[in-house]
Amino acid sequence: MFLYALLSGLTLGGVYALVALGLTIQYGVSRTLNLGYGEFLIGAAFAVFVMFGTFGISPYLLAIVVLPGAFALSWLVYRVMLMPIVRRARSPMALEIDSLLLTFGLLFAIMGIMLLMFGSNYTNYSYLSVPVRVMDATVALNRLISFGVAVVVGIIAYILLMHTRTGMALRAVSVDPVGARLVGIDVNWAAGLAFGLGGAIAAMGGILISTYMTFTAEMGVIFTMKALIVVIMAGVGHVVGALVAGLVLGLIEAFVAAYLDPGLTVAVIYAVFLLTLIIRPQGIFGRVAR
Amino acid sequence: MKLTRRQTMASLAGLGVAPMLGLRPKKALASGAPVKIGYAISLTGPNAGGAGTTILPNYHLWVHEMREKGGILVNGERHPIEVIEYDDRSNSEEAVRAVERLINQDGVDILLAPWGTAMNLAVGPLFDRNGFIQATSTAITDRAPDLIQRWPGFFPLSGTAASWATPVVELMNEAREAGHIDDDVAMISVADAFGIDLAGAARRAFGEYGFNLVYDRTYPVGTQDFSSILAEIRNVKAFASFSYPPDTVAITDNAQLHDFNPNVMYVGIGGAFPMFTDRFGESVDTVLTHGGLNMADERTRDYLARHEEVTGRRADSAGSIVMYAALQAMEQAIERTGTLDNSVIAEEMKTGTFDTALGEISLASQMMPDIFKVGQIRDGYVVGLGPQDVPGRGEFIMPKQPWPAR
Amino acid sequence: MISRSPTPYVGILAVAGTLALLPLYASSYQLAFAIGLLNFAVLATAWGLFSGPTRYVSLASVVFFGIGSYTVAIVGEVMPWPAVLLVAALIGGAVALVVGLATLRLAGIYFVIFTFGLSEMVRQLVTWYEVNVTLSIGRYIFLDITQTQIFWQLLALLAIVMLGAVALQRSRLGFALRVIGGDETMARHFGLNPTFAKLALFVASSMIMALAGAIMAPRWTYIDPAIAFNITLSFQVVIMALLGGMHRIYGPMLGAILMTFLFEALSNHFPQAFSLMLGLVFIVIVYLLPNGIVGRLEEGLARTRRKPATASAKVGERT
């Protein structure tokens, strides 16, 4: 029982962490909240669903095509759609509202395209849904892989951000955009890059999830909000925080289902989130002054 | 406040007059004039998956077949059909407004029902106030008998929750008598209307039949990982899940993965959908689920073939044929009465018998008689098994075949 | 500048009085449309009442709206209608008080997502309660309340809210709130209690939303937590209010009117491509109306008035 809950929690939490990671990079660096984030995840899920169905290539291999695509699209979203409003914004508040409205439109536009292409039916396929023994519990290989990929992506992102010049530039913009500009960092370049990275990570999440979850064209916003919960709980822009908070939420969900009542999983998740914010209004790892 | 002739007649007939506004008087149908058929249904939102599987293809099929015949036959003449389709976006308020629009702006002659219990109940007063027939196979409510009294044009074809849950328990009882399961049963349900109402009815029925519910839990909509739940009920031989399509898939997948092999297994909505058997293929043969067809009946097979040919997709094995048969009954009632006056048509529907895909039917009870509410998956369709007195019952194969090795 | 002219009050009453005659002429569909419009106008105005001066973006509208609807479902048949409305408003206010005390120290996006989490949690808890305690998830509402009565109630509510909002803006508290919007520390220096002011507004705004939910509930016959606490409503309200423009009392209402017409036009003409069209229209609106509808209107007015002067007049900037 304990082992099942642990495995279930880790696989669930791994995906939460991964999806939150992408969003926290996007939001932290560019300061524009992308409500259309989850659409990239679902878009990738549909892309691999179609390509897997037509060519029979492993969804994981398809990442080679899907991730650059998602990167490029997200980058374009920032450069083409968001830059004009970033330029015209006269205050952070104005930017916050404009980007919220604009990406809300983006959410509906992408969702609308997917609805026209795929309808609103339940979509699923099966890939590597084979049992793997872990001590005396079984877990699906596709879930195990998705946890593994989440861990690897998390580590890579951490190394890139903490130990490369580009990563340092991104972090600098995230902490202090004005200061970053003064030391010669192109803030728009950094924000575009962050958007692209975030979009690619969302697409990775979509690929992983699609192998074991039933999805519809309208589910993107669910993932956006779940990711936002994790991002906010950890503190905006905090990469390690997002990973930890994502994992913890997944574990809580699994243990509540196993030991308390499956009917309370979602309620407890939100209760934990609300309590966290009441105790620490800037998120667990958030800086007090922004 | 002005009363139209039809309303006056309705009130004379003792149906009572509700305060009405802006009701258009029924105009006589001119020769060659189109008949307007309208509906608001969930094209998007959480209800869209169900609506797009069970209801919408049948509306399309019905219209297609009438058009093939040259239109709808009213008063000895075939009239062309004009279809008006709106999206209620799975939202009660949108549904109310769209139906108002269909009635008042578009002036439809025939209104078709939306998908699901909530949507149907939301627009029920509107259909009733404007005297339209509301026939639906997707509203399952314990208030059905009460609603029929309230809304004379309401045909809740699928009846009450108990009528869906009890046959499941009866089959379990059969399996127990055959020695395949013992008294212990595990049950899970989704925390939404269908899950809770059916689980409630099943709980009572399990009690009546002397079963022992060893596990009885509800999970939130959207749950996709059932491994901890299944780990807890590993050794139970009878299992029922009153679930929604995405969870039905996840539960089945998890059960196969963890080699959870009860001798009798029932899964909820989605099990009778083509998407389910497309995904799992033969591995889910002998699993029990909602709905069911009399596969020995030629009319049923003919319907399935027509459905696939015209809509390009297979019909589900539950609400589809029921919805279609009711539409056929309505069409025949229109032909017989020679009018588009819904109250006259409704009267005919309640008194006549009709030749439909489900055979010779009578809708006197305003519910569809003799339909299967539980069946067993076989070769991509669901073979009807219960209630036991429905004619054309298939063979109940026990125990459930073990999952193939993965 | 604090004006004491009675013109706005008279204007609101006159407009409401005229509109009250609408049910005599409108078709039942037009009335249904008007009800939808009024509902959003009330919600958006109530939202703006709190969020306009305080700059808090709340996604909790549906919590209070849902509380109102559920109150009707639970006590609707055992109490006289005015009492039902009163109970709905009181429960909404009480919940708002608790929530407000706990959350108003959150800032920016943290508050936004908190309120989102709150509405999801409330929905889950109500579901859990219904599943485990009442053992049935849906509730039926059979009340003899006609469309016309709903229309009148919503119209009256909107008129009262508008009157209250104008009165508030002219009051000391209203002034205090504008100061807070600009600078909280400053407000403290002036001896204003910003927490109390914010809390009072939050409670008032929530009570109005609860009332709207209660008035609307009899339209649907059947409610369950997914219907009553549908988060889409919160998003719609925010979008409407922001598009209308937050720095004028009538801004959110204008946004609600425009968006309701837009929604209706799109769903009538593009039932298959509603989402796509909505998204595209939205994106275009954001580019064209940087300061909301009100901002654009005032800009236009300013330009025609001061034609000869330099065109640098920037009115109604969203700050």
What are the pLDDT digits (tens) for A177-193? Answer: 788 888 888 888 999 99
Please tell me the predicted confidence (pLDDT) of residue A126.
82
Q: Please say if the pLDDT value at position B15 is more than 70.
A: no
Helix (H, G, I), strand (E, B) or coil at C223: strand
Q: Which ranges constitute the DSSP H helices of B130-226?
A: 144-150, 162-177, 193-208
In chain C, which residues have their Cβ closer than 8 Å to the Cβ of A274?
114, 117-118, 121
Residue-wise pLDDT tens digits, B103-161: 988 999 999 999 988 899 889 988 998 999 999 999 988 888 989 999 999 999 999 99
Examine the pLDDT at C313 and tell me if it is beyond 60. no
CA trace torsion C11, C12, C14, C20 (10° rounding): 160
Closest CB to C128 among A101, A105, A264:
A264
If pLDDT is split at 50, 70 and 90, which confidence band does B305 have? very high
Nearest CA among B264, B273, B206, B274 for reference residue B239: B264
**Cβ C198 vs Cβ C100: under 8 Å:** yes
- Is C310's pLDDT higher than 50? no
For chain A, report the end-to-end CA distance as a whole number of angstroms: 43
Angle between helices A141-163 and A2-30 (to 10 degrees): 40
Q: Which of C88, C72, C67, C83 is nearest to C221 (CA)?
A: C72
Q: Is the pLDDT of residue C192 over 70?
A: no
pLDDT of residue B18: 32
Residues 6+ positions from C124 with CB-CB distance below 8 Å? A264, A266, A267, A270, B220, C225
pLDDT at residue B98 in the model: 92
pLDDT for res C36 = 92
Question: Any chain C CB within 8 A of the CB of B179?
Answer: no
Q: Is some CB atom of chain A closer than 8 A to the CB atom of C77?
A: no
The CA distance from A234 to A225, in Å, is 14
- Any B CB within 8 A of A126 CB: yes
pLDDT confidence bin for C306, thresholds 50/70/90: low
CA dihedral in degrees (A70, A74, A75, A77; nearest 10)? 140
Residue that the structure tokens 């077949």 belong to: B65
Per-residue confidence band for C39, with pLDDT thresholds at 50, 70 and 90: very high
Report the pLDDT value the prediction gives residue C187, as an integer from 0 to 100.
65
> Mean pLDDT per 10-residue run, chain A (290 residues)?
88 93 92 92 95 90 93 94 86 80 91 89 84 83 91 92 88 83 86 94 94 89 91 89 93 90 88 89 69
Which SS3 state, helix, strand or coil, does residue C301 take?
Answer: helix
Which of C102, C110, C285 lies nearest to residue A232, judging by beta carbons? C110
By CB neighbour count within 10 A (0-12 exposed, 13-18 middle, 19+ buried), where does B312 fall? exposed
B224: closest CA of chain C, how far (Å): 17
Residue B13 scores a pLDDT above 50: no
Number of independent structural domains in chain A: 1
Residue C82: pLDDT band with limits 50, 70, 90: very high
Mean pLDDT of B340-349: 92
- Name subunits touching A (3+ CB pairs < 8 A): B, C
Query: A99: buried, middle or exposed (CB in 10 Å: 19+, 13-18, 0-12)?
Result: buried
Tell which residue, A230, A195, A212, has the closest CA to residue A45.
Answer: A212
C288 touches chain A (CB under 8 A): no
Within-domain flag for A285? no
- State how far residue A121 is from chain B, nearest Cα, in angstroms: 4
CB A93 within 8 A of CB C55: yes
Mean pLDDT of C114-137: 87
Nearest to A47 by CA among A97, A92, A114, A143: A114
CB-closest option in C117, C286, C290 to A274: C117
How far apart are alpha carbons A163 and A165 in whole angstroms? 7
Q: Which of A124, A144, A221, A266 to mutate to test the interface with B (most CBs of B within 10 A)?
A: A124
Angle at B357 between CA B354 and CA B361, to 5 degrees: 30
Q: Compute the Cα dihedral for B213, B219, B224, B229 and give only its sign.
A: negative
Q: Of A25, A18, A8, nearest to A44 (Cα)?
A: A18
Shortest Cα–Cα distance, B280 to chain C (Å): 30
Contact C282 A110 (CB under 8 A): no
Contact A221, A107 (CB under 8 A): yes
- Average per-residue pLDDT for chain B: 88
Provide the CA A234 distance to its chain's centre, in angstroms: 13
DSSP letters along C53-67, please?
Answer: HH------HHHHHHH
How far, in whole angstroms, is CA A202 from its chain's centroid?
Answer: 5
Residue C37, pLDDT score: 95
pLDDT of residue B75: 85
Q: What share of chain C is helix, strand, coil (3-state, %, to 5)?
A: 75, 0, 25
CB C173 within 8 A of CB C200: yes
Q: What is the pLDDT of residue C3?
A: 59
The answer to whether residue C137 neighbours chain B at the CB level (below 8 Å) is: yes
Question: Hey, is the C-beta of B150 within 8 angstroms of any chain C C-beta?
Answer: yes
Q: Is the dihedral of CA C182, C187, C189, C190 positive or negative?
A: positive
C314 to chain A, any CB pair closer than 8 A? The answer is: no
Handedness of CA C281, C286, C290, C295 (dihedral sign): positive
Query: Residue C271: what residue type?
Result: P
Task: At B79, list the tokens.
Answer: 């009239």
Q: Among all residues of chain C, which has the CA nearest to that of B85?
A: C271
Predicted local confidence at residue C245, as pLDDT: 84
User: What is the token pair recorded at B345?
Assistant: 């048509």
Token pair 């999970």 in the structure block, residue? B219
pLDDT band at B298 (very low <50, low <70, confident <90, very high): very high
Residue B5 confidence class, pLDDT cut points 50, 70, 90: very low
CATH of the domain spanning B162-293+372-386, picked from 3.40.50.2300, 3.30.70.20, 3.30.750.80, 3.30.70.360: 3.40.50.2300
Each residue's pLDDT tens digit, C58-70:
999 999 999 999 9
Which residue range is the domain that position A77 belongs to?
A: 19-131+140-229
Which of B190-194, B286-290, B397-401 comes out lowest in average pLDDT?
A: B190-194
Check if B296 contacts A (Cβ < 8 Å): no
Q: Residue C261 CA to chain centroid, in angstroms?
A: 17
How many Å apart are CA C61 and CA C59, to the nearest integer? 6
CA–CA separation, B290 vs A277, rounded Å? Answer: 44
Residue that has been written with the tokens 């943290």 in this structure: C110
Please state, as a whole number, how many other Cβ atoms lie within 10 Å of the Cβ of residue A245: 29
- In-domain check, residue A54: yes
Chain B partners within 8 Å of A257 (Cβ): 219, 223, 228-229
- pLDDT at position C27, please? 85
Query: 3-class secondary structure for B68-135?
Result: HCCCEEECCEEECEEEEEEECCCCHHHHHHHHHHHHHCCCCCEEECCCCHHHHHHHHHHHHHCCCCEE
Cβ contacts of residue C182 below 8 Å, gap of 6+? none
Closest partner residue to A120 (CB to CB) among B43, B259, B275 is: B43
CB contact under 8 A, C264 and B150: no
CB-side exposure of B368: number of CA atoms within 13 Å? 33
Read off φ and ψ for residue A163, nearest 5 degrees. Answer: -125, 15
Q: How many CB pairs under 8 A join A and B?
A: 106
The DSSP call for residue C135 is: S
* CATH 3.90.550.10, domain B29-160+297-362, yes or no: no
Tokens of C111: 């508050």
What pLDDT shows up at residue C46? Answer: 95
**C95 pLDDT higher than 90:** yes
In this structure, what DSSP letter does residue A257 have?
I
Task: List, by residue range, all CATH 3.40.50.2300 domains of chain B.
Answer: 29-160+297-362, 162-293+372-386
In degrees and rounded to multiples of 5, residue B384 shows phi and psi of: -65, 135
Per residue in B35-81, pLDDT tens?
Answer: 999 999 998 888 888 898 999 999 999 999 999 999 999 988 899 99
Q: What does the pLDDT average to over B259-275? A: 93
Residue C290: closest C-alpha in chain A? A98
In a domain, A167, yes or no: yes
Of B371, B394, B390, the C-alpha closest to B381 is B394
Q: What is the pLDDT of residues B88-108, one digit of tens each?
A: 988 888 898 899 999 988 999
Q: Which residues of C31-49 are buried (b: 16+ CB within 10 A; e: fewer)?
A: bbbbbbbbbbbbbbbbbbb
| Res. C319 pLDDT band, cuts 50 70 90 | very low
Domains of chain C are 7-272 (1.10.3470)
Which residues of C are less than 8 Å from A283 in CB distance?
110
Longest dimension (CA), chain B: 71
**Is A247 domain-assigned?**
no
pLDDT score of A287: 67
B279 to chain C, any CB pair closer than 8 A? The answer is no
Does the structure show a pLDDT above 90 at C83?
A: yes
Q: Is residue C230 less than 8 Å (CB to CB) from chain A?
A: no
Res C206: pLDDT? 96
Model confidence at B8, pLDDT cuts 50, 70, 90, reads: very low
pLDDT value, residue C307: 54
Classify residue B78 by burial, with Cβ atoms within 10 Å: 0-12, 13-18, 19+. Answer: middle
Report the distance separating Cα C318 and Cα C296, nearest Å. 11
Q: What is the pLDDT of residue C191?
A: 66
B51 vs B115: CA distance, rounded Å: 5
**CB count in 10 Å sphere of residue C195:** 15
What is chain B's percent helix, strand, coil content, to nearest 5?
A: 40, 20, 40
Give the whole-angstrom CA distance, residue B292 versus residue B398: 17
Nearest to A91 among C121, C127, C319 (CB): C319
**Selection from B83, B70, B261, B254 nearest residue B181 by Cα:** B261
Facing residue for B275 by CB, picked from A121, A129, A261: A121
Touching C: which chains, 3+ CB pairs < 8 A? A, B
| B23 in contact with chain C, both atoms CB, cutoff 8 A | yes
Helix (H, G, I), strand (E, B) or coil at C94: helix
State the pairing for strand pair C139-140/C222-223. antiparallel
Within a domain: A278: no
- For residues C75 and C81, give the distance between their C-alpha atoms in angstroms, rounded to a whole number: 9
Contacts with B43 from chain C: Cβ below 8 Å: 271-272, 274
Number of helices (H), then strands (E), in chain B? 14, 16
Record: contact C271-B118, CB cut-off 8 A: no
pLDDT band at residue B23 using 50, 70 and 90 as cut-offs:
very low
Contact (Cβ atoms closer than 8 angstroms) between residue B263 and residue B180: yes
The minimal CB distance from B87 to the residues C27, C222, C274 is found for C274
Output C278 or A92, whichever has higher pLDDT: C278
Q: Quick one: pLDDT band at residue B240, thresholds 50, 70, 90?
A: very high
Q: How confident is the model at residue B383 (pLDDT cuts 50, 70, 90)?
A: very high
Question: Is A125 a member of any domain?
Answer: yes
The pLDDT, as a whole number, for residue B16 is 30
pTM of the model: 0.87
